[in-house]
Structure 1
Amino acid sequence: MAMNLGSVTGLWDVGSSMFLPLYLGSAVVLLVAAVVHRHRLLAGRSSVPGSAVTAQQAAYLTGGGRLAIYASLAALHVGGCVAVAPASGGRLVVTGALPAGATALDVAIHQAAGLGWPADRLGEHDRVAAELAMLRTGLERAGLLPTDRVRWTIRGWAHLMQVVVIVGVFWFFTQSSDGGFHLLLPIIALSTAVTILLRRPKTWRTRAGDRALANLRAGQAHLDPAQNPSWRVYGPGGAAMGVGVFGSGALWAADPGFASDCGIPNQLDSSSTSGGGPGGGTCAGSSTGSSSCGSSSCGSSSSSSSCGSSG
């Protein structure tokens, strides 16, 4: 056993003139490869214009599944389809029938409202969760959101760089006679890996998703809450798009009573997302219903139809 340990120690006991160039060169090559690959993975597609993105798709890109729900709620409420029951803790009630042009998510939320679901728990409703999953899948196919495989690959690069850092730290502690420089190297490698690879992006949108959303915001500037848009003028479609593009603050600005009764947080947008994607809206997939973005290109349906009045 002593001879085996001695042999291992002898192989590991190399001077800085041999180990440091090999280690540093390998670390730089791996780091550059990781950064370049990450950049390419998050590129998305450049052929999706902002005009092809619907209100609920924009909401998912901006704030994930929760904001997509709020965009649908805004359209349904402005159209007279749903409301919050008084003193009910945010439970929804149906106040009107859905029109023929309602999206699959609108239908699911309207169904949940008919069962008295609270607005802040709509994401737990099976059909709503399924439609959110369909919405996300469509955005992934359109290249506006990264797939799970892309996110796993990026994390894999991060874990690989962690191993590189651990090797450097371990070598320092076994070869610490030269002091400071050996300590500096793993610290720099560790800081670089953490800063570039281990820190999750502010959003998990692709750059194509960022561009599409930026173009959409520029084209829908009249719906900015700072412009005090009238949802009576722009209707359910404008309400959904305003929330989808500018966050839940648009709903608070237009109808603070409804937003408060629903328990909707003020200004939910991409800066408040969490989890594997925007808003953490990753739900189990389902074949129930159809999504407004269920194909490789973004769908054209939106929440622009007004609801019928209650009979």
Structure 2
Amino acid sequence: MKTVMLGATGLRVHPLVYGTLPLGPLQAAVTPEEGGRLIRYALERGVNLLDTAEMYQTYPHIRAALDGYRGEVLIATKTHANTGELARAHVERALRELDRECLDLVHLHGARVADPFTDRAEVVAELVRMKEEGKIRHVGLSSHFISAIRKAAAHPEIEVIHPLINRTGMGIIDGSSEEMAAAIAESAAAGKGVYAMKALAGGNLISSARESIRFVLGLTGVHGIAMGMLSETEIDGNVALFETGVTETKLWEDLEGKRRKLRIMQAFCKGCGMCVPACTNDALQVVEGKAQVDEETCILCGYCGAACPEFIIRVV
């Protein structure tokens, strides 16, 4: 099994990180049993870091995967809280639902927060406090902002960063792919662990998946990539690519032929607009009383689905 050191954390991780977002109700909405089976399949093939978040609602899937499992598993979760009190509640819920005494990594989930160390200073302080209490091993930052990643590089309490990066720069809020890559290299040089997200731009680059994954893996300072996987075939293909660089042509041609999209059930949309500010990439607007998506801009993160009070937005 191939592993790499995650910055100065002391954690050794497989470079393929299991991103659990697609398993939950914001995207494919597979059952905890099915999601747990897929996660377990990946764990048995060497993957050892699972990426989740308060808003993903995939703790039951992880719990199912770990039932009876004896191998090493590291869990990274995220809190999108804007107060210390809510951040603590999120961490305590994760501990309870995952049946853990300590979480390996908790990120401040600030996709659209340009300066989390000012705007979410209370949250950072609370996460550090919970680390001192033994409830968190390492504190991290998840962001789509280059400016936030640069600030994290110099912040002594942030040990791991989870940045958005892909070869086209899609979804990066304040600059280019090249600029984000430079910020990532700076962070890694400062001893931060780095595992990337959105290497396929939420599926928009799936037709060139191999090229896009290799691009991110080849960037200076990137220790791993979180990938959402919904089948054994995807898991097998990614494990082989991440471990050996070898890809089975037919398998990857099939994977690269798939395309997902955001579905808004228009008949039930009330035009409240709650989804619009939740979109990290300004891909949504309300037109004539109904939410509409710009498919060329959408990165299929599913955050709009979490904001919709009618539960009518899904990535399918």
How would you bin the TM-score normalised by the shorter chain? under 0.3
Q: TM (normalized to structure 2)?
A: 0.23
Larger strand percent:
2
In terms of Rg, which structure is larger? 1
Q: TM (normalized to structure 1)?
A: 0.23
Larger helix percent:
1
